[in-house]
Amino acid sequence: MKIDNEELIVSLGGAAAVAAMTHEQRADALEDFQISKLDARAAERRKKENFPTVAELEDKIDKRGTRQGMGKIFRAQKGKLNPDGTTGPDRVKRLPKMPAKPTLIDFFEHRFRSPAHLFQSGALAKRRGCSEEVVLACLLHDVGGFFMKADHGYYGAQLIEPYVSEKVAFAVRYHQALRFYPDPAVDYEYPIRYYEAFGVDYVPMPHIQKAYEYARNHKWYMEARLVTINDLYSFNPDIEISMDEFRDIIGRHWRDPAEGLGYDGNPVAHMWRTFINPDAPL
| Contact residues for Fe ion, defined by CB under 5 A | 142, 231
Question: How far, in Å, CA of 103 to CA of 109, rounded?
Answer: 10
Question: How far, in Å, CA of 142 to CA of 193, rounded?
Answer: 16
Question: How far, in Å, CA of 167 to CA of 146, rounded?
Answer: 22
**CA-wise closest residue to 38 among 255, 187, 257:** 187
Identify which of residues 102 and 144 has a Cβ nearer to Fe ion in the complex.
144
Buried b (16+ CB within 10 A) or exposed e, 226-245: bbbbbbbebeeeeeebeeee
At closest approach, how far in Å is the CB of 174 from Fe ion? 11
At closest approach, how far in Å is the CB of 176 from Fe ion? 6
Identify which of residues 133 and 231 has a Cβ nearer to Fe ion in the complex.
231
On whether the CB atoms of residues 172 and 156 are closer than 8 A, the answer is yes
- What burial class does residue 211 get, using C-beta atoms within 10 Å of its C-beta: 0-12 exposed, 13-18 middle, 19+ buried? buried
Identify which of residues 106 and 231 has a Cβ nearer to Fe ion in the complex.
231
At closest approach, how far in Å is the CB of 110 from Fe ion? 21
At closest approach, how far in Å is the CB of 239 from Fe ion? 15
Identify which of residues 111 and 152 has a Cβ nearer to Fe ion in the complex.
152
At closest approach, how far in Å is the CB of 175 from Fe ion? 6
At closest approach, how far in Å is the CB of 159 from Fe ion? 13
Identify which of residues 153 and 184 has a Cβ nearer to Fe ion in the complex.
153
Identify which of residues 161 and 231 has a Cβ nearer to Fe ion in the complex.
231
Buried b (16+ CB within 10 A) or exposed e, 134-162: bbbbbbbbbbbbbbbbebbbbbbbbbbbe
